[in-house]
Amino acid sequence: METVEKIKQQIAENPILLYMKGSPKLPSCGFSSQASQALMSCGQAFAYVDILQNPEIRAELPKYADWPTFPQLWVEGELVGGCDIILEMFQKGELQELINEVAARHPAPEAE
């Protein structure tokens, strides 16, 4: 699968998706850490892609998204933005509202 197709598939399959450096529990940069902390404090599950483990996505996503930096938060197929936008939305309460609305529309599959 081509990288752009892989990116499109990830965005389509995950209503809340964070492209970041590292993982939410072990972020590899301060911006990714702040962004994932804000998302985690919304209390809803979200998917993430560690771009350090996926160099082809790291190379292609900025061109596809027309957004040069990481992290990148995608919600229901739309690019929300990077760390500054995520934190600003979080401080205003907008991020929590958005994430909770999306989570309500896309209930997580029940764990077995």
pTM of the model: 0.94
Q: Is 21 annotated as belonging to a binding site?
A: yes
* Inter-helix orientation angle 94-105/83-92, to 10°: 90
At the fourth CATH level, the homologous superfamily of domain 3-105 is Glutaredoxin (3.40.30.10)
pLDDT in tens, 78-107: 999 999 999 999 999 999 999 999 999 997
Q: For position 35, what pLDDT does the model report?
A: 98
Percent of the chain with pLDDT over 90: 94
Q: For position 112, what pLDDT does the model report?
A: 52
For tokens 């809803």, the residue is 44
Q: Residue 58 phi/psi, 5° resolution?
A: -55, -35
Contacts of 75 (CB under 8 A, 6+ apart): 15, 16, 17, 98, 99, 102
Instruction: Report the candidate in 40, 21, 37 with the shortest Cα–Cα distance to residue 29.
Output: 21
Q: Is 42 annotated as belonging to a binding site?
A: no
Q: For position 108, what pLDDT does the model report?
A: 67
Q: Is 50 annotated as belonging to a binding site?
A: no
Q: Is 84 annotated as belonging to a binding site?
A: yes
Give the residue ranges of the chain where pLDDT is below 50: none
**How do the domains of the chain map onto residue ranges?**
3-105
3-state SS, residue 80: strand
For tokens 């599959």, the residue is 109
Instruction: Report the candidate in 60, 55, 68 with the shortest Cα–Cα distance to residue 8.
Output: 60
